[in-house]
Structure 1
Amino acid sequence: MSKIPKRLLAASTAVATALVALPLFTPSASAAEPHVDNPYAGATQYVNPTWAASVEAAAGRVSDPALAAKMRVIKTQPTAVWMDRISAITGNADGSGLRFHLDKALLQKQAGTPLVVNLVIYDLPGRDCYALASNGELPATAAGLARYKTEYIDPIATILADSKYEGLRIAATIEPDSLPNLITNSSHPECQVAAPYYREGVKYALDKLHAIPNVYNYIDAAHSGWLGWENNATPAAKLFADVVRTTQAGFASVDGFVTNTANTTPLEEPYLPNSSLTLNGNPIRSAKFYEWNVDFDEADWTAHLYNLLIAEGFPASTGMLIDTSRNGWGGAARPTATSTSTDLNTYINESRVDRRVHRGAWCNPLGAGIGERPRSTPTGYPGSHLDAFVWIKPPGESDGASTDIPNNEGKRFDRMCDPTFVSPKLGNQLTGASPDAPLSGKWFESQFVELVRNAYPVIGGSTSPDQTAPSVPSGLQAGTISNTSVSLTWTASTDNVGVTGYDVYRGTTLAGSSATTSFTATGLTASTAYSFTVRAKDAAGNVSAASAALSVTTTGTTTPPPGACRVAYSANSWNTGFTGSLKLTNTSTSPLANWRLTFDFANGQTVQQGWNANWSQAGATVTATATAGSWNATIAPGATVDIGFNGTHSGTNNAPTAFSVSGQTCTIG
């Protein structure tokens, strides 16, 4: 199974903030504010004037007025500032230094509105140990680590701690492409050497930056096509937790994680919404393109990762950022519907919006487009716990050179950036990289033009209507209910975007789509409770928040499966929150299919969100049901599944005293 790390480079982020229409005020110290849960909520974000000037220059060189207009819309978007070597702190030939950007951010900040500056910390010793295009200046040695601390992190922290900047919110992306390499490339000699310096360097950066109240730390967490496999995802969450536990503040030193900076994985695969589906008895995730990876996109990966992080001890307030700067995959090649082919690989290839030949093709991929514009607290992805869509990698900055270019930045020629190279890592296919690319991080104008042309959602002009999500469907109601089906209706979404359809979810699983305000869910189990929500979607790919949930119980009777069950329950409490963990074991001699676990809380505890089951609560009674078609929908005799949830309590937090599964009382312990 090919699980190749991808490339990262340059940067970007946030909620659109126009360069020309911002009221200015004299840059002076602003009163420090409390450290908040989500720094992006209610905030604008810093628009890098250097990057904006490159975009404006490109717009002036194109002959197509419509394309130039789209570029000028994009130049108002916020992007991250990269500290990719020591000289970047004070400024070098590639751009101005850190104080320049912070001073410009003070000028952009509007009175009464917070402003986020997205900053990338990116100069670990032995940086980018697996690939070559973004190798750094510091060697993976004790001397390299000492320089990283004293010449790189310490000066950055000193500048950020200046009281002049305490009114800015600094969101720091911590070392892209680093810790994930220790999961998938630990057998590579250079990664083995770099591993202890990665761990210590990330710890040191977290300690120094967390000590500054207006700095928010987000650790790079690769993307779905790198860590989505369970045998990568679980060790990654453990590694993140192990490193963070070594910091002075522990889990409090991290505000969240950022994904997709090092590749172009789509936010969603709209025509492949459920990786558990089968075609002719074959799981669609077994197709050649996905190689059994359960996470087809970044919405999948962030929800998956969040649950694993919580299980490792990270607080429920942990937020996620998704870099959407170049994962739009629009243009004429974008599919418009799910394939009707009965051949598995053809079905996947005709349905996926990711048009690369392989998910490992990371370097300046041809056909890519700008993705969702930066915005805070995006709706429609409740399991992902998103703080924002951001542009950490600025569109138009190269991933790596397509030929060998001598340089003094430590960057080497990686054949994955060579469009003529047939790569064994990509199934002996051409890399699909763009030709004539400069060194990583340098302006790559032809690629920028392609990203603008292929943007999805399409760039709709200065008002950017394509960024507006439809309003939430309302009035969800149940009509006919039988043993195995439920008819649903709801009120149409009305807004100025133009709703084209609705997706119906059973718990967190897509039950189906409808072009009208009605839907019938079939294939259900008799005498079983289900929860449904509806989301509106439009032609530009925007998705509304979920409607209010509707709980429906099918009619009929079912016979409890034979045998017995055992439940082991434990809780990890803090302040008014807690994590509940349950081990459900089938102690019978027959499979436990489509199980439904119930228990009561005695102290008014409330379930907030859970994992590995569909969770609901009515009064004191909590219900966890198997997700149809999921890996744990049937529990074999003697087998155990781990499920859990985050909850709140107000003082006493006694464990439940009784559990039942599908009508049978379970033993405890």
Structure 2
Amino acid sequence: MRPPNAPRLRAATTAAALTAALLCPLPSLAAAAPARAAGEAHQDNPFAGATQYVNPLWKANVLREADATPDSALAARMRAVAGQPTAVWMDNIRAIAGAPGGMGLEAHLDAALAQKGSAPLVFNVVVYDLPGRDCNALASNGELPATAAGLDRYKSEYVDPLVSVLAKAKYAGLRIVATVEPDSLPNVVTNSSVPVCQTAGPLYEQGIAYALTRLHALTNVYTYLDSGHAGWLGWPSNSGPTAAEFVKVAGMTPAGVNSVDGFVTDTANTTPLKEPYFTGDTVVGGTKVIGAPAPDNFYEWNPDVDEASFTADLYPKLVAAGFPAGIGMLVDTSRNGWGGPGRPAAASTSTDPGVFVRESRVDRRPHRGAWCNPVGAGLGERPTASPAGYPASHLDAFVWVKPPGESDGASKEIPNDEGKRLDRMCDPTYAPPAAGWNGRTTGALPDAPLSGKWFGAQFRQLVANAYPAVNAGPAPGDTTAPTTPTALRAGTASATSVPLTWTASTDDTGVTAYDVYRDGTRVGTATTPAFTDTGLRPSTTYTWTVRARDAAGNTSHPSAPASATTSADGGSGDVLLTRGRTAWASSVEGDLQPARAVDGDPNSRWGSAFQDNQWINIDLGAAHRVSKVVLRWEAAYARGYKVQLSDDPGFSSWTDLSTVTAGDGGTDTLTVTGQGRYLRVLGQTRATPYGFSLYEIEAYGL
């Protein structure tokens, strides 16, 4: 599993025409859906309030590796992560029933039932066996040919048996999250000039539409489409067409866009969650760092330098393309930590953009296309529901889809009956000739086994380079949970925040963190018995509980609840509503993304196409009363424009807050009255031959 090689990273072309045989609509599957017992209602975020399945086979591999590791400190850190949840990969037909002596899908689901306590449990499964799988690489080629016959087998021998197992009544109480066909639809978008992808593309679309249709029929199954990663699809020329491709395939199902619950990025890749010292807008020496020249042209003008920026960029494009605003994003953080001694501790002080990039980036690969067992990678954020700190990304969870320690691909040709071959990107001696590599070799670990097989050297490296670092924790066998936090109290509330305090818990080996829950959903973590919950709505009552946990993952019972009501205005008047919110637009000039109009940077801006009647939308996160709007125009300003509000998630109904017919640029401060969730600036007539361009949009209210 991998992104395409560098020459094709920026190509965004239309997929090859569907053959006549594949243009026929999907048959009705209502009669084929197995009967099942009723479970809970379909959740907006299946990870919220739930535990996740720990694969006992992966855990056993981790513990065996720890036992064989002479470094006792490293072995202790390995054991500390053995209880982390990872996805179960159904990567061939045989995997459904299970290999002799192994576990098939039903055995894993039975184990999940055994692990489930009183809380809901998420079972992560990867659906991954398309005909002509992984059309632009060799390491993960599959068993089914890219033919109509291969598609028929995919439906009848793979998807149908898999769904029949998931549909059994005894599993109705599990929340089953399916990552659907990694690497497939991004290849349709970016690699349709590759002959094998031209052939496979229509089969991918038909196969995924069939899988989505069958899976969506089960109320407790949640489908997340793989959406590549920042280093593959971050360029606007790739991300926009990708959103359109996703809508196209969803439209081939009876449920349309509702057949998709969300999207997952960075599956089986190692793009960092966050580059801490720069963004795609950072300028050094008069040049954006993403445009640093060779040999430091690592980003090649791709504005999405990490998964945080990529998901924040992709989400509004998905919504604008037709997906509902409630879709969620997942980031696979299993191998994107990039910690260890090689991690920069601060931004470079160099004024040379190339040197700055080289010395500041935590991603230490030779090229963003280096996807196979990269040297230096580490474990990333542990699986977490509703992670805080990334509001524009609309994250449902951090997940470990690709189990750490399982190889990306063999570093040499290894005979096998799975269709897997040597991909030179897994060969540490290979220097790709493509642009941006500048003579460097792949940076892949040597002596790697076939993809999906246990690779001890990779796992040892991942634990050693984890970021956040893995705490060794107590000795194996600690099963004692911390005491329950007591005396939880809410302090004086403002309009948008409430401070919380409680009495510290105790534990036989020490409390490592407290998880804070607001109305049943985890909203943050603290290492001391205090936390301030922010981003709240005025005049609203909330209830919190707190749980303590130790290094072994033992978690206390929840504290007694504490409630508080935020004030009407906190005594400080209206608040800024737009900063950091999700923004999307009718068009984008180059890399002048809509998010730049709400980032607080007076030097960054959104720019539209050179046409009249262009708009930019901002999701305020909830319905707010808006009393003032400030528009800071670049030289390309609007002569005529409207500021509008809406509560319509379909964006078909808008209320005008202000209409301007003789705009003169500069800063417009508009006193308005209205209430709604979505704010729009609709540029009607341009004052210049260029488009509409705004440095900042500021809406104030409560």
Is the TM value for this pair above 0.5? yes
Match of 2:210 among 204, 215, 219: 204
Give the secondary-structure state (helix, strand or coil) at the position aligned to 1:567: strand
1-side partners of 2:634 and 2:173: how far apart? 61
Deviation at 1:411, TM superposition (A): 0.5
Identify the residue that residue 427 of structure 1 maps to in structure 2. 438
* In 2, Cα distance between equivalents of 1:587 and 1:184: 42
One of 385, 390, 393 as aligned partner of 2:394: 385
1:84–1:623 CA distance, 2 compared to 1 (3 A): closer
Q: Distance in 2 between matches of 1:506 and 1:33?
A: 35
Match of 2:639 among 565, 577, 580: 565
Q: Identify which of 175, 180, 191 aligns with 1:169.
A: 175
- What is the one-letter code of the residue matched to 1:2? A
* Matched letter for residue 161 of structure 2: P
Preserved contact between residue 587 and residue 637 of structure 1 (Cα < 8 Å): no
| Deviation of the 1:640 alpha carbon | 3.0
Query: Could you tell me which amino acid in structure 1 is paired with residue 447 of structure 2?
Result: D
> Are residues 1:455 and 2:466 paired?
yes
How far, CA to CA, are the matches of 1:438 and 1:386 in structure 2? 33
* Deviation by residue 1:576-618 (Cα, 9 ceiling, x = unmatched): 9768799x9999999x56x65858576x4333xxxxxxxxxxx
CA-to-aligned-CA distance 1:221-259 (integer Å, 9 cap, x gap): 000000000000100011111111111101110000000
Aligned to 1:79: 86
Equivalent residue, structure 2, for 1:637: 688
Give the CA deviation at 1:639.
2.9
In structure 2, the partner of 1:182 is 188
The one-letter code of the counterpart of 1:436 is D
Check 1:245–1:455 CA distance in 2 against 1; reply closer, same or farther (3 A cut). same
Equivalent residue, structure 2, for 1:323: 332
- 1:619 aligns with none
> In 1, Cα distance between the equivalents of 2:187 and 2:633?
50
- Structure 2 contact 636–687 (Cα < 8 Å) conserved: no
User: Contact between 2:48 and 2:385, CA under 8 Å: does it hold in 1?
Assistant: yes
Are residues 146 and 42 of structure 1, via their aligned partners in 2, closer, same or farther at CA, if it must alter by over 3 Å?
A: same
Offset, 1:507? 2.3
Change (3 A) 1:87 1:472: same
Change beyond 3 A, Cα 1:432–1:561: closer
In 2, the alpha carbon distance for the partners of 1:240 and 1:579 equals 25
Report the 3-state secondary structure (helix = DSSP H, G, I; strand = E; otherwise coil) of the residue aligned with 2:112.
helix
Partner of 2:676: 605
Indicate yes or no: 2:412 matched with 1:403.
yes
- The residue aligned with 2:104 is 97
> 1:172 corresponds to which letter in structure 2?
A
Measured after TM superposition, the shift of residue 281 of structure 1 is 1.6
Cα distance between partner residues in 1 of 2:172 and 2:534: 45
2:580 is matched with which residue? 508
Contact 1:585 1:638 in 2 (8 A): no
After superposition, give the CA deviation of every residue in 1:472-522 in whole Å (9 maximum; x if it has no partner). 66899xxxxxxxxxxxxxxxxxx999xxxxxx999239xxxxxxxxxxx99
CA distance in 2, matches of 1:455, 1:559: 44
Deviation, 1:352, is: 0.6
CA distance in 2, matches of 1:69, 1:505: 46
Give 1:428 shift.
2.7
1:268-319 CA distance string (max 9 Å, x none): 00111x3112112211221201110010100101111101001011111100
User: Deviations for 1:38-81, whole angstroms, at most 9, x for unmatched residues?
Assistant: 00000000000000000010111111221111111111000000
Question: 1:267 aligned to 2:278?
Answer: no
Aligned counterparts of 1:117 and 1:580: Cα–Cα separation in 2: 41
Contact 1:597–1:623 (Cα < 8 Å) also in 2? no
Aligned length in residues: 537
Amino acid at match of 1:104: A
| 8 Å Cα contact 1:569/1:580 also seen in 2 | no
Change (3 A) 1:389 1:281: same
CA shift in 2, pair 1:409/1:575, >3 Å = same
Q: CA separation of 1:636/1:136 partners in 2, compared to 1, >3 Å: closer, same or farther? A: farther
Task: Say which of 278, 287, 301 aligns to 1:282.
Answer: 287
- CA–CA distance in 2 between the matches of 1:94 and 1:422? 40
Is the Cα–Cα contact under 8 Å of residues 203 and 243 in structure 1 kept in the other structure?
A: yes
Residues 329, 354 of structure 1: 8 Å contact kept: yes
Q: 1:344 aligns to what?
A: 353
Distance in 1 between the 2:364 and 2:577 partners?
Answer: 27
Seen in structure 2, the aligned counterparts of structure 1 residues 599 and 579 have a Cα distance that, compared at 3 Å, is: farther
Specify the SS of the correspondent of 1:605. Answer: strand
Change (3 A) 1:322 1:638: same
CA distance in 2: counterparts of 1:270 and 1:263, whole angstroms: 19
> Shift of residue 346 of structure 1?
0.6
Please tell me whether the aligned partners of residues 137 and 410 of structure 1 are also in contact (alpha carbons under 8 angstroms). Answer: yes
Report the alpha carbon displacement of residue 146 of structure 1 after superposing the two structures with TM: 0.1
Give the whole-Å Cα distance in 2 for the aligned partners of 1:85 and 1:285.
39
**CA gap 1:302/1:176 in 2 versus in 1, 3 angstroms:** same
Check conservation: 1:203, 1:244, Cα contact below 8 A. Answer: yes
CA drift of 1:94 comes to: 8.7
Match of 1:148 in 2: 154
2:343 alignment partner in structure 1:
334
Helix, strand or coil at the partner of 1:37 = coil
Which residue of structure 2 aligns with residue 310 of structure 1?
319
Task: Give the match for residue 418 of structure 1.
Answer: 427
Does structure 1 residue 375 correspond to structure 2 residue 384? yes
Structure 1 residues 289 and 107, CA gap change in structure 2 (3 angstroms): same
DSSP 3-state at the match of 1:459: coil
- Looking at structure 1, the residues matched to 472 and 653 of structure 2 have their Cα atoms a distance apart, in angstroms, of 46
Instruction: Report the Cα offset of residue 570 of structure 1.
Output: 9.4
What is the aligned partner in structure 1 of residue 563 from structure 2?
A: none
- Following TM superposition, by how much is the alpha carbon of 1:35 offset from its aligned partner in structure 2, in angstroms? 0.3
| 1:72 alignment partner, SS class | helix
Structure 1 residue 64 corresponds to structure 2 residue 115:
no
Contact 1:599 1:623 survives alignment (8 Å): no
Give % identity.
52
| Residue identity in the other structure for 2:472 | G
Unaligned runs of 5+ in 2: 11-35, 474-510, 516-523, 536-547, 551-575, 582-598, 604-620
Supply the distance in 1 between the matched residues of 2:513 and 2:144 (Cα, whole angstroms).
45
Secondary structure of the structure 2 residue equivalent to 1:640: coil
- Alpha carbons of structure 1 residues 522 and 267: separation in structure 2 relative to 1, 3 Å: closer
Corresponding position of 2:59 = 52
Gapped runs of 5+ residues in structure 1?
Answer: 7-28, 477-494, 498-503, 510-520, 526-545, 608-621, 627-634, 644-660, 663-669
CA shift in 2, pair 1:523/1:383, >3 Å: closer
**What residue is the counterpart of 2:138 in the other structure?**
132
5 Å-filtered alignment, 1:213-224, equals: 213-224=219-230
Q: CA deviation at 1:565?
A: 1.9
The match for 1:666 is none
Residue 37 (structure 1) aligns with: 44
- Asked whether the equivalents of residues 284 and 344 of structure 1 are also in contact (C-alpha less than 8 Å), the reply is yes
SS at match of 1:171: strand
Q: Which residue of 1 aligns with 2:198?
A: 192
Q: Secondary structure at the match of 2:193?
A: coil
Tell me, in whole angstroms, the C-alpha distance in 1 between the residues paired with 2:303 and 2:634: 31
Deviations 1:409-449 (A, max 9, x none): 00111000000111113333100000000000000001100
Q: Provide the rounded CA distance (Å) in 1 between the counterparts of 2:444 and 2:632.
A: 56
Q: Which amino acid aligns with 1:223?
A: H
**Structure 1 residues 382 and 421, CA gap change in structure 2 (3 angstroms):** same
User: Pairwise mapping of residues 543-562 of structure 1 onto structure 2 (< 5 A)?
Assistant: none
Quote the Cα distance in structure 2 between the aligned partners of 1:567 and 1:183.
35
CA RMSD of the aligned region, Å?
A: 4.0
